[in-house]
A and B are shown apart, each in its own frame.
Chain A
Amino acid sequence: DQQVKQNSPSLSVQEGRISILNCDYTNSMFDYFLWYKKYPAEGPTFLISISSIKDKNEDGRFTVFLNKSAKHLSLHIVPSQPGDSAVYFCAASGDGGSNYKLTFGKGTLLTVNP
């Protein structure tokens, strides 16, 4: 049972435009959400996180939005750059009061075209 879902396996955008990556979750116990970026042959790299008490967190070109009632979050990248091309994973923690175990989605492959 997939508790964290990334329903778009891939996304292609033009350089300079906005990239929007979506993530849905089913477990209402999750209270922290994170986005990781992964290049081939490397481990995931932390990008940005958000607590369930917030609805937005911004860091440079990256903004994460959380809609708790819809159990939905999204990552916005503006402007998109070719170096952003990677697999993006949404992850959640806090299930059962634990803040250590991350539950990941399957990832979305972002391609930013020059």
Chain B
Amino acid sequence: DTGVSQDPRHKITKRGQNVTFRCDPISEHNRLYWYRQTLGQGPEFLTYFQNEAQLEKSRLLSDRFSAERPKGSFSTLEIQRTEQGDSAMYLCASSLSLGLAGVETQYFGPGTRLLVL
């Protein structure tokens, strides 16, 4: 059983450059989430997809950030004109929503650690 995978695991970039991260969720999962974790903090919700539709974006997600899930499978998160404050761990998670009440367990990938110099 393949878990959530993320690529790359590490990225170092210079301020002002664009970066793109990829997430491959667990294959049968229809929901995909992006979170950001900075040092000493817990993960913070950024956005989520139900299949290919992006249904919510956090106010943390400035207009320099864009996420896609074009075919309802893998997702990409792009950050344009990176700033030093974007340095963080970017985590992807997926879950299976059956439209029932109750919490859905979100399974996380290993994360992409971004360092903006």
Contact A49 B105 (CB under 8 A): yes
- Give, as a whole number of angstroms, the nearest-CB distance from A57 to chain B: 12
User: Which residue of A is nearest B108, CB measured?
Assistant: A43
Contact B43 A102 (CB under 8 A): yes
User: Is B48's beta carbon under 8 Å from chain A?
Assistant: yes
Contact B103 A46 (CB under 8 A): no
Which of A63-71, A72-80, A93-101 lies at the interface with chain B?
A93-101
Contact B104 A99 (CB under 8 A): yes
User: Is B42's beta carbon under 8 Å from chain A?
Assistant: yes
A26-47, CB < 8 A from B: 32, 34, 36, 41-46
- Give, as a whole number of angstroms, the nearest-CB distance from A107 to chain B: 6
Q: Report chain A residues within 8 Å CB of B6.
A: 43
Q: Report chain B residues within 8 Å CB of A101.
A: 45, 48, 56
User: Is A4's beta carbon under 8 Å from chain B?
Assistant: yes
Per-residue A-contact encoding for B52-70, CB less than 8 Å = 1, 0 else: 0000100000000000000
Q: Report chain A residues within 8 Å CB of B101.
A: 99
Contact A44 B105 (CB under 8 A): no
Instruction: Report Cα–Cα, A45/B109, bound state, in Å.
Output: 9
Instruction: Report Cα–Cα, A91/B106, bound state, in Å.
Output: 11
Other-chain residue from B102, B103, B104, B109 in contact with A43 (beta carbon distance below 8 A): B109
Per-residue B-contact encoding for A80-96, CB less than 8 Å = 1, 0 else: 00000000010101100
Q: Report chain A residues within 8 Å CB of B102.
A: 32, 51, 99
User: Is B25's beta carbon under 8 Å from chain A?
Assistant: no
Other-chain residue from A43, A51, A98 in contact with B111 (beta carbon distance below 8 A): A43
User: Is B79's beta carbon under 8 Å from chain A?
Assistant: no
Q: Which 8 A-B pairs have the closest CB atoms?
A: A104-B42, A43-B108, A32-B103, A44-B108, A101-B45, A43-B110, A43-B109, A104-B43
Please give the residue numbers on chain A whose beta carbons come within 8 Å of chain B beta carbons, in ascending order: 4, 32, 34, 36, 41-46, 49, 51, 89, 91, 93-94, 98-107
Please give the residue numbers on chain B whose beta carbons come within 8 Å of chain A beta carbons, in ascending order: 4, 6, 31, 33, 35, 40-45, 48, 56, 91, 93, 95, 97, 101-111
